[in-house]
Each structure stands twice: as C-alpha cells, then as structure tokens.
Structure 1
Amino acid sequence: MGTEYDIPDVELEYAARLYRKAHTAGLVAGRSANGFATACLLVAVRKSPLQLPVSLRELEEVARATEDQIKTARGVLEVRMEIEIPPLEPQDLIPKVTSELNIGVPVEQCAKTLLRAFRADDETDCHGFSPRTLTGAALHAAYDTVDCDNRPTLSQLSDTLRVSASTISQRKRYLLQYTGICE
C-alpha cells in the first residue's frame, strides 16, 4: 500500500510500530490483520508532518481488507489505544490535483487562500464537507477569480478528486464569498 502512494519510509515504519503495538496489546486477535495494517498506515499518513495527500478512500482501494474491517480497526485504534486520527485537510490535496491537471501557481495559491479564509470564518460550519469536495470547490472558485488559460472542466476536477461535479458546484458557493482576497 505504501509504494502505491509513495509513502516515505519514516511513515511506513511508524505504521509498522503502531501495528506491532496493537498486536502486542491483543487488539488484532479475532480481527482483520489487513484492516489493522491499513488503519495503522492511515494514522501514519495523517500524523505525518509532510501533509501527505492520501485519503482513506485511496487506501481502501489498494487494501486487502474490506471497508468494514478497516473501519473496525480504526475504531479500535481510536478507542482502545486512544489514538487521535486527524482529518484529511483540503489544502493538503491541492498540490496533488494541480500537478495532475497542470493547474498554474496563481490558481493554486488562490485556492489555498480561499480555503484558509473559509476555515477561519467562525460563521462557517463546514462539518460534513468532504475534503475532496472542498478542494475541488476551491480550485473551481479560484478559476473564477484568477484570469488563467487552460481551465480544467468541472468534469475533469470531479474525476481527479473522485467526487460528484454537482457537489463541487454546490460547495463552490460557500467559497465564492472570499474571492476578493485573491485579487
């Protein structure tokens, strides 16, 4: 799984140590070892100072465990081992998407600025918003602000992020109120 997403050795070693700790504590017995391996890798990726843009969905695609097995292992790590698994941040996905779609630096910077403003706004309740959807919405809104050629289509954004185009459009309206700060 780690090689599929170019996860550095330090994070892979952290995941392995966490797995051994869970195994030694008897938490893996009777549960999916592959589910625990995936959940431990998720913890390592999310706690990495490198802000790796690997989502749970991506790990599930290459894991040898079912979604339920991974969810169970994740719950055990969070509850029994008291490990906090931070959420994936939308801004962590932006470099990956801009690279894949050949999006220019001005649009990338504007999208990051929009996400920071959105997050800093106390009036905004973004609970339940997918990080992937917010990333797509920020990039889509940034193109409305920054004069730039080679704008990817909404369909290209949604395919790259693996989220619905209509959801990106819906979330974009939350970010458009901040576009003045990108000018």
Structure 2
Amino acid sequence: MNSTPVNTEKRDKTNTETSLATDTPVPCPECDGYPKSTGEETICGDCGLVLSEYRIDHGPEWRSLADNTTNPKRTGAPLTRSRHDRGLSTEIGRSIRLTGRKQRQFARLRRQHNRARISTKRERNQVYAFTEIRRLTGAFSLPEQIRDDACSLFRSAQSEDLLRGRSLEGFAAACVYAACRVADVARTAEEITEIAKATPAEQRAAYTALNRELGLPIGPINPAQYLPRFASELELPSDIERCAREYVSMITAQEIGAGRNPSGVAAACLYTAARDIGFELTQQTAANIADVTPVTLRATYHDLRELTPLSTE
C-alpha cells in the first residue's frame, strides 16, 4: 500500500506562523528555540531562522496634529463649494505657548499666508460673494445644499462673464434666490432683499441675467410651498392648513392664480380656510405675513368664494 509523503517543513512553517498570529509561543521547528520579533521579521533567537516576514498592523494609525488634544483625527475639513479654494488651503493657527519673538514671527507668517491665499481678482470676488452667500443662508437657516448650489451658480456666472457692470452683492442675493427656486424652497425675492446688502434693482438685474444666460430650470412657484411657513408664523391650527391646501389645489385646477403673486394666493387660501372654521384672522394680518396688500388678498378671496360660497354669508 503506497502512502503519500508529508511535507514536514511546510507543515511546521504553517503551524509556526499560525501560532505567531495568535500570540502563542511555539518553539522553532529547527532547533526548538523560542522566536522573537525584531522590526518587521520574526526570527529564532538561537539559529536565526526567519519564521515570518509579514508583520503589518492593519489597525488605524491615529495621530493628532493639534496642540493639547486627544481627538484622533488625521484628516481636515471636508471639501466644500462655498469657499474659493474648496477648503483645501492651510490655516496657520494660534498657540498660547509661543511668546515674544516667535509669536511676532508667526503673526507675520500668518499675515503673508492670508495674502497669498488670494492671488487674483477673480478669487477675491469669490471670497467676498461667498461670504455674503453664507451670511444670507445662515440668516434664513437654509440647508447647506442651497448654500453650495448658490456658490456654484456664482462660479458659473463668473465663467460666463455676467458680473461685468453688476454688483457682487446683487449676484450673491440673486444666486441664493435662484438656488431656492430651483430646490423648491419657498423664499420670496423681497425677503432676501430685506437682509441682503444689495438693492432690489441690483438683485433683479442679476437674477434676470442668471435666468437668461444660464437657463435655470425654474418654473412657476406653487403657492402650497408657502403654506407651512405662513401657518406656523400665524400660529394657525393644522386643519386650517389642510383646508388651505385644498383651496390651492382648486385654484391650480381652475387656473385662477395664473399671473398672481404665489405668496398672496397662499395667504388668501389661509384666510379663506380660517373664515370657514370661524378662526379669528384679519385680512391685514394675512397680507402682512405674505408681504402683499389686502387688495391683492381680497381678489383671490372673492374668486374662492365664487367657487365655494360660505354658508354663513
């Protein structure tokens, strides 16, 4: 009966590497000595046999570059489109451990570094406009996606040479408004103008240029987008908002709101729904929240009453 020979050397080496991986001391297969690790190799201390040369630590290699911190971070801030350099520039921080001559030296380095970060007028305009965009989006508590989209619109306007002869403040406000329109976020141009540094004429001129030259995917504003915010500011119950949403659907189906201010239509629907359930809400209050006149609100209200007459009248 034939028997297959066993490769003793291969078996002993495999057993040794397995035992080293499990931190179990196993004698050397050649001289029964005990192995020891030096650097990236595991060798026998008696005969010098190399038992393993694969010693890689697959765990995290944490290191902190900040002073006096134990936070295991080795990466910087994420890339963002709201900064002219995508957030890749280096910041020279401040340390309380530097005094005297070293502190003055790093102050000069920090000043020269900040000047070198902005090398062209194009980048200087981006820094100013992006700062204004971040201020506007922060004032309205808009999401970061709106902020990044507005900054991308400003870059596109710069590439198309639309800024010539127009103000940076106007384009910053127009980019925020256009980003809101594209993302179906209910913000009126008047609301943005109240906080922006640009005048209404500057914002309108910049927005017209953006819409004409870039072909923004913007359609008519649905008045229903204003209902949750207006209802919250007026402290109206949920059933009024639900009824107002049905009125908006009715107006859209009958095409009554064509050519009218969407915020005024939303305010008129809320006022009509409040009248239906007997909630106390004046036309002036509803018009003020939508930044329209009571005359504008009454025009939509009368059209709604022709479609759904109030039983108590």
CA distance in 1, matches of 2:293, 2:247: 20
Q: Distance in 2 between matches of 1:77 and 1:118?
A: 30
Match of 2:145 in 1: 10
- The alpha-carbon deviation at position 117 of structure 1 amounts to 1.1
Instruction: State the partner residue of 1:110.
Output: 243
String of CA shifts for 1:11-55, please: whole Å, max 9, x gaps.
11000011011112211122111111111111110111xx32211
CA contact (8 A) 2:223 2:248 kept: yes
Partner letter of residue 273 of structure 2?
A
> Which residue of structure 1 aligns with residue 162 of structure 2?
27
* 8 Å CA contact retained: 1:46, 1:85: yes
- The alignment status of 1:57 with 2:190, answered yes or no, reads yes
Residue aligning to 1:157 = 286
**Structure 1 residue runs of 4 or more that deviate by more than 2 Å after TM superposition:** 84-89, 124-128, 176-180
Q: How many residue pairs get matched? A: 174
Shift, 1:103, TM fit:
0.5
Contact 1:107 1:143 in 2 (8 A): yes
Paired position in structure 2 for 1:140: 271
CA contact (8 A) 2:257 2:265 kept: no
Per-residue CA deviations over 1:89-112 (Å, capped at 9, x if unaligned) read 211111111111110111101101
Structure number with greater CO (CA < 8 Å, separation at least 6) is 1
Query: Contact 2:182–2:216 (CA<8 Å) still a contact in 1?
Result: no
Q: Which residue of 1 aligns with 2:262?
A: 131
Aligned-pair Cα RMSD in Å? 1.7
Residue 65 of structure 1 and its aligned partner are, at CA, apart by 1.2
Contact 1:141 1:172 in 2 (8 A): yes
Contact kept in structure 2, 1:118 and 1:178, CA below 8 Å: no
DSSP-derived class of the 1:2 partner:
helix
TM-score by length of 1: 0.87
Equivalent residue number for residue 175 of structure 1: 304
* Alpha carbons 2:264, 2:296 under 8 Å: kept: yes
1:115–1:175 Cα contact (<8 Å) kept: no
- Larger-gyration structure (1/2): 2
TM-score between the two structures when normalised by the length of structure 2:
0.52
Residue identity over aligned pairs, in percent, reads 25
- Give unmatched runs, 5+ long, in structure 2: 1-135
